[in-house]
Amino acid sequence: MLFDNAMNKELQSFSRNIAAQLLLGGTGLLCLYRADTKLDSTWYQFNGLYIVGLLLLLWSIYLAASNAAILNNDYRDYLWRQGEKFDRIRLMRYHIKEDNHLIDISKTFKGLKTTVLIKFRLEGACILLIWFLFAFVYILGIIIIFVQQTKVFGF
């Protein structure tokens, strides 16, 4: 694998969380769609479906944003572990993990072999690719789950 064992576990939990977020978002869209298309619904059913749909959709968006922030923190901790591994932490201005940004941590890797630097840059590029593609996968996944649920329930 590209990363160490701890970072691979974090990436696996990130992907498991995506599945739950897509299911919640798709179900929320289904509730909103059902509220709009159900002709014989009472005021109580209509408002109930809208409230549940909005809550599920907003909860899914909140989970997606927090999942991306957690991935950022996990990558920062990964860089910190790599910095400890190469004993470059003494070069940093701040020695507290929470105060360091990714740029500050990556500056400590100057003077290493080119292959190690390329490996760190490749790992950073993979994380950036995951962050950018996450929004597209999230929106597309919610729409696909919504369409599948409408076919299953016959709406």
- What band does 101 get if pLDDT is binned at 50, 70 and 90? low
Give residue 1's pLDDT. Answer: 47
The token pair at 92 is 């940093």
Count the helix, strand and coil residues of the chain and give each as a percent rounded to the nearest 5: 85, 0, 15
| pLDDT value at 144 more than 70 | yes
Burial class (CB in 10 A: 0-12, 13-18, 19+), 90: exposed
Q: Residue 37: its pLDDT value, please?
A: 81
Question: What does the pLDDT look like over 8-33, one tens digit per residue?
Answer: 777 777 777 888 888 888 888 888 88
Kindly give, in sequence order, each residue whose CB lies less than 8 Å from that of residue 132, ignoring residues fewer than 6 positions away. Answer: none
In whole angstroms, what is the distance from residue 116 CA to residue 122 CA?
10
* Alpha helices (H) along 86-113: 102-107
